Amino acid sequence: MALLPVIGWIGAGRMGVPMAGSLLRAGYPVVVYSRSATKRRKLVSQGAREATSVAECTRAAEVLFSSLPDDRALREVALGPEGLLANAKAGAVFADTSTVSPELSEEVSRDAEQRGVAYLRIPISGNAASAQLGELTALVSGPEPAWRIVKPMVETFSRTQIYLGAGEEARHMKLVINLLVVATAQAMAEALALGRKAGLGWQALLDTIGQSTIASPFLKVKAGLMKQRDFTPTMTTHLILKDIDLMLAAARAHGVQMPVTSATRQVMQGAVDAGYGEADYMMIIQLAEQQCGLSSEEMD
């Protein structure tokens, strides 16, 4: 039986820990690095080997994954003399699962090609709860031969994998999906406020939305959480605002008008300015309630 390749995992945040944990449970040897020693030890406790730098983690592995919060973090990890690409083994595969700009991703791709590293863009659709269950959706683009190598690994932490092309297609698809998420969240906040002001009961509102023609898997999940007034962070307002800025930048680059997304950005910025940056982005439901004088306490 062939030995499984060593995987280097960089980034041990809310998404990175459960995804890397799935690889460990599947028997893959994993070397982990995160700037936070406390975070990387969450994976060490599950059987990963600890690295104390990006370079150390990179040199130990044949396949490398990163799960990072933004462009700045990916640039820091991937590029430069102490970065992943400068220290990767010849023929290594690098798969980034972050939500970042297509422009930075193209820069990483150019450096990877020059260094003989196969670079895959695999932004993930889902949240920490679906990551724990292995029910994420992996959006994939990059060289297809590298994807065939990495696919069994990605299958350990995702239910669905969609290969979209050889370039930045996955980056753009992630922005498309998240655009719909933020627009739906804002529409839900407004709709629930309107319903309550018109005298509809909270449970009746959410039950009916969940059984209506507009119900989607996303709406059904959020309606279930809102019945319990559960605003446990799945994605912070600060991070969703970062994603909106990526959407708007892509829209400008492609000449697309996005008035709804622009308006939603103002709402999210207001939430961040009000001190809700680390709260779940669905707290805009509470903001909508406050703005029209409704109580935010648990309802019938």
- Type of residue found at 155: E
Looking at residue 299, its pLDDT comes to 59
Average pLDDT over residues 91-116: 98
Rounded CA-CA distance 217/204 in Å is 19
The CATH number of the structural domain formed by 172-291 is 1.10.1040.10
Q: In 3D, which of 190, 179, 195, 204 has the Cα closest to residue 285?
A: 190
| Burial track 143-180 (b if 16+ CB lie within 10 A, e otherwise) | beebbebbbebbebbbeebebbeebbbbbbbbbebbbe
Could you tell me the pLDDT band of residue 295, with boundaries at 50, 70 and 90? confident
Q: Kind of pairing, strands 136-141 and 124-125?
A: antiparallel
Place of tokens 């297509």: 102
Burial of 181 (0-12, 13-18, 19+ CB in 10 A): middle
Other Cβ atoms within 10 Å of 222 Cβ, number: 22
Looking at residue 129, its pLDDT comes to 87
CATH 3.40.50.720 fits 7-167, yes or no: yes
Question: What DSSP character marks residue 55?
Answer: H
Q: 28 vs 24, 183, 224, 295, CA distance in Å? A: 5, 38, 35, 50
Tokens of 290: 């406050």
Looking at residue 1, its pLDDT comes to 43
CB 237 within 8 A of CB 268: yes
Backbone angles phi, psi at 62, to 5 degrees: -95, -30
Rounded CA-CA distance 162/59 in Å is 29
CB 124 within 8 A of CB 159: no
Rounded CA-CA distance 44/23 in Å is 13
Residue 90 predicted with pLDDT over 50: yes
pLDDT tens-digit series, residues 234-279: 899 999 999 999 999 999 999 999 999 999 999 999 999 999 999 9
Rounded CA-CA distance 257/120 in Å is 29
Parse the chain into domains and list their residue ranges.
7-167, 172-291
On average, the pLDDT of the chain sits at: 95
CB 189 within 8 A of CB 287: yes
pLDDT tens-digit series, residues 120-179: 999 999 998 899 999 999 999 999 999 999 999 999 999 999 999 999 999 999 999 999
- Which of left, alpha, beta for 134 (phi over 0: left; psi -120 to 50: alpha)? left
Would you mind telling me the total number of residues written for the chain in this entry?
300
